[in-house]
Amino acid sequence: MSETFQFKAETQQLLHILIHSLYKDREVFLRELLSNASDALNRLRFEMLTNKDVLDPEAPLEIRIQADKDARTLTISDTGIGMTREEIIEHLGTIAQSGARRFLEAARQQNFDTSGLIGQFGVGFYSVFMVAESVTVTSRSHKREADPVRWTCRGDDRYQVEAAEKDQRGTEIRILLKEDAAEFAEEYRLREIIRKHSDYIAFPIYVGTDEKPVNKQTSLWRTPKTQIGETQYTDFYRQMTLDFEEPLLSTHFVTDAPVQMYALLYIPAKGERGLFSLRKEDGLKLYSRNILIDEYNKDLLPEYLRFVQGVVDSEDLPLNVSRETVQSSGLMPRLKKVLTSQVLKELESLSKNDPEKYASFWKEFGGYLKQGVAAVPADAEKLTPLLRFRTNTYPDSWSSLEDYAGRMKEGQKFVYYLLGEDPRSLLRSPHLEAFQAQGLEVLLLTEPIDSFMLMGLRKYGEYELKNAAQAEIEAPTSSTETRPEAEKIPEAELSPLIERFKQTLGERVSNVRVSGRLLQSVARLVDPEGALNPEMQRVYKFLGKEYEAPKKILELNPSHPILKALSKLPAESELAEMVIEQIYDSALLVEGLHPDPASMAPRVQKLIEAALMRS
């Protein structure tokens, strides 16, 4: 006897969305049906561990797909646990109201493009109506006394349930495809979808009359490491990414606590994706029991490790569950913690065991780790040993903070750094002169991210980080580069000279004073006390934030020949004014602050003419 039932209102709404909306990726319906078939087979296998009295106990556990492109039909059958009449009504005739409601809300938020939501709200089976005119499900339970049953629906608000004929245990889904979905009756298309989404289902999937399974069944990440060679790891990476270069690093691990997980992760050789890369976004491939449920999952690693490629598979992760539910359960944070710890451990090992390869990594991805120090304070302690820097002492090689600390002078209390536009200009910075003279090492920070990094990197061990431009350090009097006191401009001539600088530069500087740190440079610019520190100034600049740049203090080297000669020029001298302007502009240029360097050219030309005329 056939009975007709009506769907509940929310299920009707859900079906309407699936049937009448536009989708980017309708092929996901096959993934969902195969996932359901795999679940049915797994449930039967579990049942048979304790119950041998099942229908067809010797039947092989498998999934078969038959397609008829002329009739536009697609049939998917499994030898799984099957369903009774009551179960088919429960599983296919209803859907949890909360699941339907969440699906509908998410669909509205995504303008009804729900292809990325299928399988997350317990609505996986209903995705078949994206491609189906009608669906007939015939099932026979593993229970010997249960009769076969048939469920039929045309995607409207009703479905029929009736008795059926079926000799074997399991479920068969027969789909009459819509005209615009005829591609899914092509065997080559089915194989393509299976390899993309369901290649690692643990049971064989047969298409047509071919007795060779389409899917691999055993995933590389679930295979013991002792059975895998480096070539297999590389081949899998290339298959997944289509990257022609070998990865810099791979790690394959399995955990049972605090969360069950299989993971196979790679660090690419280059930071920029190749033109033909298959991976178009950041994120890891997330599987649940060999079923792909997210192609680009961005919640498994912190953003600063977004360059990592690979797959994660956890049996603790339900197939049909919303992302919000997974996160609220605490599963994703636990997965993320384990994965992050493993990646950082592998990088630390690489840095110690293969410094040359780590230098290649740092060149491509160092900026990401600096971002992590700034953005994730909780991870800063783990990331700090992985940081690398150029220094004034070793400008052509990378040094860790551990290397720096090992080379510190006796009694040194700070780790010194200097911010600038590029390493070459920093090496000529007047701020470095006193440090060079004393043999003190200074980190050279020239990337935009460095200013942000310093917000999270305040100390290394017991040593505070200090900006060399603001450090209180004097040039050593014993240095051969330091001019004797007698060679400095006499105080009687120095005070008027400073006043001439102040009058010429006016409001452009907050003060002009003598410096005890300069050895070779004529002048330098420093921030007045209480001003926004240089790191924050650069942060505001890079973020495009409005702020008032502090007027700098111009410090002069009283032993420099230029200032000595300048002090001899008459007060009304035009040449003296040009020299003062040029000294200030040159100081701006060295600091990377000059708004218009080309504007100096006419003045430089006049100064050259004056020098040639006097010679």
**Each residue of 81-132: pLDDT tens digit?**
999 999 998 888 765 444 445 545 655 555 544 444 444 434 578 889 889 9
| pLDDT band (50, 70, 90) for residue 477 | low
CATH 3.30.565.10 maps onto the chain at 3-207
User: How is domain 3-207 classified at the CATH fold level?
Assistant: Heat Shock Protein 90 (3.30.565)
Least confident of 126-130, 265-269, 499-503: 126-130
Least confident of 37-46, 219-228, 430-439: 37-46
| pLDDT band (50, 70, 90) for residue 8 | low
Q: How many other CB atoms are found less than 10 A from the CB of residue 346?
A: 17
Phi-psi sector, 328: left (phi>0), alpha (psi -120 to 50), beta:
alpha
Segment 441-458 mean pLDDT: 92
| pLDDT band (50, 70, 90) for residue 20 | low
The percentage of residues in the chain with a pLDDT greater than 90, rounded to a whole number, is: 57
Residue range 485-614, CATH number: 1.20.120.790
For residue 490, whether the previous peptide bond is cis, meaning omega lies within 30 degrees of 0, is no
Range with the largest mean pLDDT of 119-133, 336-350, 483-497, 527-541: 336-350
Segment 384-403 mean pLDDT: 96
- The pTM of this model reads 0.71
Segment 278-292 mean pLDDT: 85
DSSP code string of 364-409: HHHHHHHHHHHH-GGGHHHHGGG--BEESSSTTS-B-HHHHHHTPP
Q: Are 400 and 369 in contact (CB under 8 A)?
A: no
Residue 579 sits at the vertex; the CA angle it makes with 576 and 580, to the nearest 5 degrees, is: 85
pLDDT at 495: 92
E strands, 408-498, where?
414-419, 442-445, 459-460, 463-467
Q: How many other CB atoms are found less than 10 A from the CB of residue 558?
A: 22
| pLDDT band (50, 70, 90) for residue 404 | very high
Residues 6+ apart with CB under 8 A from 277: 241, 242, 243
What is the side-by-side order of every strand in the sheet holding 509-514? Answer: 509-514, 552-556, 523-526
Segment 486-495 mean pLDDT: 83
Least confident of 42-46, 86-90, 349-353: 42-46
| H or E element that contains 65 | strand 63-68
The percentage of residues in the chain with a pLDDT greater than 70, rounded to a whole number, is: 85
pLDDT at 14: 67
| pLDDT band (50, 70, 90) for residue 598 | very high
Mean pLDDT of the chain: 86
Report the alpha-carbon distance of residue 610 to residue 608 in Å, rounded.
5
Nearest of 419, 404, 531 to residue 469 by alpha carbon? 419
Residue range 220-355, CATH number: 3.30.230.80
CATH 3.30.230.80 maps onto the chain at 220-355
Task: Give the per-residue SS3 of 177-220.
Answer: ECHHHHHHHCHHHHHHHHHHHCCCCCCCEEECCCCCCCCCCCCH
Q: Are 284 and 309 in contact (CB under 8 A)?
A: yes
CATH 1.20.120.790 maps onto the chain at 485-614
Residue-wise pLDDT tens digits, 217-231: 888 999 999 999 998
Residue-wise pLDDT tens digits, 294-314: 889 999 999 999 999 999 999
DSSP code string of 127-156: GGGGTEEEEEEEEE-SSTTPPPEEEEE-SS
Residue 160 one-letter amino acid: Q
Q: Which structure tokens are listed for 266?
A: 């790679």
